[in-house]
Amino acid sequence: MDQLLPCVASLRLVDHHCHGVLGTDLDRDGFESNLTEAGSRSPLGTSLFDSSLGLAVRRWCAPLLDLPPLAPADEYLARRRSLGAAEVNRTLVSAAEISTFLVDRGTWPEGFAGPGTFTGSREHLVLRLERLAEDVVTEGATGFPARVREVLDSSPAVAAKSIAAYRVGLELDPARPSDADVVAAADRWLTSGSTRCADEVISRFLVWEALDRGLPVQFHVGYGDADLSLHKCDPLLLTDLLRATAPLGVPIMLLHNYPFHRNAGYLAQVFPHVFVDVGLATHAVAHQARRVLTEALEIVPFGKFLFSTDAFALAELYYLGAVFFRRALSDFLSAGLREHALAQADAERIAHLIGWENAQRAYRLE
């Protein structure tokens, strides 16, 4: 990392949104299916190693497994299997040099482990709101609101996470629903026979209840898998809800945001409680991350921007998320230094804000 600004190379990172690490070995199909939001390689396309992310795995992760940079995909995968998932996970997650993880445990298949397992780093819990609802709705509609509140009251989580984007889209009604509305919605849900929380009333009930308890709420925004309809995941669709919740003074974190990251930056500027990141996109666009990060930083105050990897399953994604974030941030600051748009002390202060201070302040981490 010789090109990195020293203040970025040694920057403490709080990853304010990530998932668990898969503990089992993967064949080529299994590995490739984690390089895309599609779920698997298309028979009409070619290998997913032919993508920004695929190249990045060969370029950056191969050397950590004692292979030359850009080693062929099959060699990389063979080496990965011969070392075994446990060793690979330890090596790659450690190399990310992330000091603190906020871990969304909402999707946690058999064999997943928190990234802190491999590094000794501190982990904080992010409570998935839809999962909470799915867990307690089965006990009946009538007591549903009370049971949601009870879980939230006793949860050790430092934040809640909403995947309304995947379930109902982000155009949420700004009004706090009444308990009667919520019970009616829960009743409809139970009657439908579905186990999946996909009701707009319940989505915003969950958000309001979390905010009421001072729990920052993370929203999945933008780019994600084919389950969502991306035009319903523009952060601007949250505008009315953001306006309604601003008086509570509890942070709302817009996650990922690609390709709507400029829209997200606008929201972070005009709403006092809105923070944003470009997690997921950072490793997905890989060596092109500088452009995405700098676009995102155009109008957002630097006190409102966070680091996250949104890494899921592959240890590679924690490492690449951190590598490309550091490189993009360093490039952004270096360019500013080069044209005298900022001073060395400014670069250092901005790096610290974005790397960890904003997360520490917004989530009240000790």
Q: Which of 1, 27, 29, 38 forms a contact with a second copy (CB under 8 A)?
A: 38
CB of 271 to a second copy, least distance (A): 6
Tell me how far the alpha carbon of residue 209 is from its chain's centroid: 21
- The smaller minimum CB distance to a second copy, of residues 85 and 164, is found at 164
Number of residues that bind a second copy (CB under 8 A): 77
Tell how far CA 163 is from the center of its chain.
Answer: 11
Residues 31 and 41: their CA atoms lie apart, in Å, by: 10
Smallest distance from the beta carbon of 45 to a second copy, in angstroms? 4
Amino acid at 196: R
The minimum distance between CB 296 and a second copy, in angstroms, equals 11
**Binding segment toward a second copy, per CB under 8 A, in 44-52, 112-120, 200-208, 306-314:** 44-52
Binding of residue 29 to a second copy (CB under 8 A): no
Nearer to a second copy, 12 or 90 (CB): 12
Decide if 359 contacts 16 (C-beta within 8 A). yes
Distance (Å, whole) CA 90 – CA 98: 13
Enumerate residues 303-322 that contact a second copy by CB under 8 A.
303-304
Among 208, 271, 319, 356, binds a second copy (CB under 8 A): 271
Order the strands of the 274-276 sheet from edge to edge: 14-18, 100-104, 122-128, 159-162, 217-221, 252-256, 274-276
Q: Which of 30, 106, 143, 259: binder of a second copy (CB under 8 A)?
A: 259
Phi-psi category of residue 346: left, alpha or beta, with phi > 0 → left and psi -120 to 50 → alpha: alpha
> Smaller CB distance to a second copy: residue 34 or 119?
34
Per CB under 8 A, the list member of 1, 146, 175, 226 interacting with a second copy is 226
* Site string (51-70) toward a second copy, x via CB under 8 A: xx-xxx--x---------xx
Considering only residues 324-343, where is the footprint of a second copy by CB under 8 A? 336, 339-343
Residue with smaller CB distance to a second copy, 8 or 297 = 297
Binding residues for a second copy restricted to 79-138, rule: CB under 8 A: none
Residue 353 binds a second copy, judged by CB under 8 A = yes
DSSP for residue 176: P
**Which of these segments, 18-26, 96-104, 107-115, 263-271, binds a second copy (CB under 8 A)?**
263-271
220 DSSP β-pair partners? 255
Minimum gap (Å) between residue 220 Cβ and a second copy: 14
Q: Which stretch binds a second copy (CB under 8 A): 133-141, 156-164, 187-195, 256-264?
A: 256-264
- Contact characters 287-306, a second copy, x per CB under 8 A: xx--xx-xx-xxxxxxxx--
Q: What is the C-alpha to C-alpha distance for residues 16 and 227, in angstroms, rounded to an integer?
A: 24
Which tokens sit at 51?
A: 């993508």
Contact between 1 and a second copy by CB under 8 A: the answer reads no
* Region of 25 on the Ramachandran plot (φ > 0 left; ψ -120 to 50 alpha; else beta): beta
- The yes or no reply on residue 37 touching a second copy (CB under 8 A) is yes
Ranges of H-type helices in the chain: 6-9, 28-32, 52-56, 73-83, 85-95, 129-137, 144-154, 164-167, 179-192, 200-212, 239-245, 261-270, 281-285, 289-296, 315-338, 344-352, 358-362
- What residues from 234 to 253 belong to the interface with a second copy (CB under 8 A)? 234, 236-237, 239-240, 243, 249, 251
Amino acid identity, position 136: V
The DSSP result for 79-103, as a single string, is: HHHHH-HHHHHHHHHHHT--SEEEE
Q: Cα(245)–Cα(276) distance, rounded to whole angstroms?
A: 16
Site for a second copy in 192-221 (CB under 8 A): none
> What 3-state DSSP class applies to 348?
helix
CB of 180 to a second copy, least distance (A): 29
Nearer residue to a second copy within complex by CB, 179 or 240: 240
